[in-house]
Structure 1
Amino acid sequence: MKLISARQAWRDALHEGRDSVLAAAAERAKMGKQGRVIGETMPSMLDSNGRCAHMLAAGLVQSAIATLPKPLQHFGHALYSPVATGQDLNIAHALVWFNTELPECSDRRKEIAYWMALAAIKSHQAFVSDREGWGAVRVCEFVRDWYGAKMDATNWARDWAAIWSAIAISVDRLDAKALKPVAAVIVRMDGRRHDGWCRWDRHDRDAVADARAASYAERRTGTVLALQVRLSAMTQQQLSRWFRRMSAYSAAYRDEWDKDVIENSHRHQRYLDRVTEYWNQRQRVGDVKKRVA
């Protein structure tokens, strides 16, 4: 397994990507197979080094998780484990509730806020899994389905926004605490030369990338136009130097993010826009050979 981010490592450390030998044998027996069928594709059993590396990394991550207090372990499992149980979710719910500092409100609102805490966990889980976080309407529907209480989404800002914000802050803090020892394992396995050498031992890389992407999306149009104007004003010699810098930048960027550039392209829109403009400028000055379709 690759150690890319604390969230990814937590998930992959508890996930077995292939069937056991006995499971594969049982499946073949159920289908009445004896021996191999001509032309049948069989999974390779020779990658023992890769499997050992996976087991080592998974063991280190699992050991790091085990250093957390039990409630935080359940909280992390509820968010990231592929084999999370109802017990994990129940304890995570209670942990969020007891760690939330609610604004002053009535007993009735506190009852509803208790179920909003569960909705906040679900919303956070969706957000860190590259899905959209829950809005007011979704939260109101969830509370109505689980508790039977009706909430008016049209008055969300007045009645519930402060409560939801307090709960979300609690979830974020607990998430950071749970991921801290796993992030330390990633730093150590990445060959960092000393503590603090990289910011990813203090911040989750996926969360930072998502925040940057959201910030860039708000100003993307203006940023792209400004880049085009700046490059159009450059001389041929200046553009050549910019091309060399872009090549080095692109190589370093892909070395850091690898397949994530393709799998989660929305996170890397600024990089992709720069690459697009790189090829546009090279085409403009005739620095690329004509391609044949």
Structure 2
Amino acid sequence: MRLISARQAWHDCMYQGGSTMLENLVDRSVWGQVQFSEIDNSLHCIAHQALSGRFQHAIASLPVELQCFGHNLYAPEISTRQSNQWFEIAHAMAWESWPKRDELAEEKRRQAQWVAAGVLYRYRFMVQGGMGNPDPLEQPRLFRAWLQDRHGVILDRRNWSREWGWIVQELFRVCDRLDRKALMPLALVLTEERGLATAA
């Protein structure tokens, strides 16, 4: 497991790539293989699982909604059904965490909920893989086209920054705040582990 960032740790601690230790042992016994080298290849897997357990425990300490928000952003292996559930919870959480939603007119509030879904999609793309990916829908015309194609929502292009640009920026800030909250316990474990690694 690489100790690069809390985002990377969330992804890696949930990733169980390759075969498990038990599958390895079964394969060895079926083929009658004996390992004669002094280095056991399964030690890397054991170290990964032990370290993963610390990060998984940190994730489990979060409220369920924040866990879903984090899983929506960083989970490596997900089913469509599970992904949709996480997205719905993350979307509801982002929407409910935005205090200015009640200031909007009814029609604009309905459209802004879909804008929140789009912002969450964009934010996820930008932070996946550690972070630093470019925003795929940064240009307003691309974002409007995506909303229309994906959700059937048509936003007026006139006065974009006055009508919708500020809402998009506010919702990005909400996603960032929730992301920081979700990553905080992992960052603490990461700091501890880095301290142990440098001390050793």
Which TM-score applies when normalising by structure 2? Answer: 0.79
Identical columns (%): 34
**CA deviation after TM superposition for structure 1 residue 163, in Å:** 1.1
**Structure 2 letter corresponding to 1:74:** C
1:13 matched to 2:9: no
Map Cα deviations across residues 185-228 of structure 1 (whole Å, 9 max, x no partner).
00011117xxxxxxxxxxxxxxxxxxxxxxxxxxxxxxxxxxxx
1:113 matched to 2:107: no
SS in 2 for 1:46: coil
Map Cα deviations across residues 155-202 of structure 1 (whole Å, 9 max, x no partner).
32121011111211110100000000000000011117xxxxxxxxxx
SS in 2 for 1:19: coil
Assess, with a 3 A threshold, how the Cα gap between structure 1 residues 131 and 154 changes in structure 2: closer, same or farther.
farther
Assess, with a 3 A threshold, how the Cα gap between structure 1 residues 22 and 55 changes in structure 2: closer, same or farther.
closer
Query: Mind listing any 5+ residue stretches in structure 1 that lack a counterpart?
Result: 29-33, 37-44, 193-293
**CA deviation after TM superposition for structure 1 residue 74, in Å:** 0.2
SS in 2 for 1:149: coil
Aligned position for 1:77: 71
The one of 43, 51, 54 aligned to 1:49:
43
Contact 1:11 1:81 in 2 (8 A): yes
Aligned position for 1:66: 60
Take 1:169 and 1:179, find their aligned partners in 2: how far apart are those partners?
A: 15
The one of 152, 159, 166 aligned to 1:162:
166
Take 1:98 and 1:120, find their aligned partners in 2: how far apart are those partners?
A: 14
Aligned CA RMSD, in angstroms, stands at 2.5
Map Cα deviations across residues 123-172 of structure 1 (whole Å, 9 max, x no partner).
11111133221322232123213332211335321210111112111101
The structure 1 segments of at least 4 consecutive aligned residues displaced by more than 6 Å after TM superposition are: 21-26
Q: Which has the higher contact order (CA 8 A, sep 6+)?
A: 2
Take 1:96 and 1:142, find their aligned partners in 2: how far apart are those partners?
A: 19
The count of corresponding residues between Structure 1 and Structure 2 is 178
**CA deviation after TM superposition for structure 1 residue 71, in Å:** 0.2
Take 1:4 and 1:23, find their aligned partners in 2: how far apart are those partners?
A: 29
